[in-house]
Amino acid sequence: MIKTVAIQGVKGSFHHIVSQQFFDKTIDVSEYLTFDGVVDSIMNAKNDAAIMAIENSIAGSIIPNYALIDNFGLHIVGEHYLDIQHHLMALPNQTIEDIKEVYSHPMALLQCKAFFKKFPHIKLIEDKDTAEVAQRIQANQLKNVAAIASRLASELFQLQILSESIQTIKHNETRFFIVKTKNSEIPEIEINKASIKFELDHKRGSLATILNVLSDCKLNLTKIQSLPKIETPWKYAFFVDVTFDAYSDYIKAKSIMKIMAQDFKVLGEYKNARL
């Protein structure tokens, strides 16, 4: 039973929104400034689960978060997709001409870069979190400063939205994982997606052979990424997501992959959020 969830960022952050949508609005959230802190908290049983952004449709995978899941042996028990809308917000009665500095997370700044070309008087400054800046503007009554954050953040911290959806690419989705230290308690019948990891030597066609197995077992590949093995540069591990209709097909593919690939590992078995 999941009662408390660790999130990266403060209330009003996109991780907070995901916790409300995946569970419900009454879920207890614990705020951490870093993903390391989030993972520490579930390893020490301070929280039952954690929410971690894993990829977005602009910048691709958040590799350090894959590394955390892999290194700490965490289990992915769910996924959630959130349409990220970035709004520019400041204390009430400020106009965009009043704003001299915008603080936000590097990813948010990157996604809104084009918008600020029209406002060369505004300095963009990297910060730890999107919503935490909104909180700070309210707490310290900061004038001439704006945040890029969610609508929830503007509501929680009583800021006025100066400009809506300022991200360059209007359709901007981020995928989140819900992770636990223990494996999924989802009934098999509901499991139709899995994230796996394996390593291969660089023999010609070794990856094609594995993908043929997946295909023969009626698994669909929805993501593949070769990743350098740390401390062994340019030896790659593969992170793969598969979807399937029958759990038995997946079990069959898993038993073959265990034999054919090196260091085969299931990162999680869960319900596809994209049906």
Positions in the binding site for its own copies (CB under 8 A):
55-61, 63-64, 81, 106, 110, 126, 169-173, 202, 204-205, 207-208, 211-212, 214-215, 218-234, 236, 238, 274
Residue 55 CB, shortest distance to its own copies, in Å, is 7
Q: What are phi and psi of 136, to 5 degrees?
A: -65, -40
Residue 203 CB, shortest distance to its own copies, in Å, is 8
How crowded is the C-beta side of 67, counted as CA atoms within 13 Å?
9
Residue 113 CB, shortest distance to its own copies, in Å, is 8
> Residue 215 or 248: which CB sits closer to its own copies?
215
- For helices 247-260 and 206-216, the axis angle rounded to 10 degrees is 160
Q: Are 136 and 153 in contact (CB under 8 A)?
A: no
> Residue 81 or 119: which CB sits closer to its own copies?
81
Residue 36 CB, shortest distance to its own copies, in Å, is 8
Helix, strand and coil percent figures for the chain, each rounded to 5 = 30, 35, 35
> Residue 4 or 61: which CB sits closer to its own copies?
61
> Residue 180 or 193: which CB sits closer to its own copies?
193
Instruction: Please name every residue paired with 270 in a beta bridge, in sequence order, or none if there are none.
Output: 193
Contacts of 43 (CB under 8 A, 6+ apart): 72, 181
Residue 95 CB, shortest distance to its own copies, in Å, is 28
Q: Which of 41, 167, 191, 187 is nearest to 113 (CA)?
A: 167
> Residue 119 or 236: which CB sits closer to its own copies?
236
Q: Are 159 and 90 in contact (CB under 8 A)?
A: yes
> Residue 139 or 208: which CB sits closer to its own copies?
208
Residue 156 CB, shortest distance to its own copies, in Å, is 25
> Residue 25 or 170: which CB sits closer to its own copies?
170
3-state secondary structure labels for all residues of 99-130: CCEEEECHHHHHHCHHHHCCCCCCEEEECCCH
Residue 42 CB, shortest distance to its own copies, in Å, is 20
Q: What are phi and psi of 52, to 5 degrees?
A: -135, 125
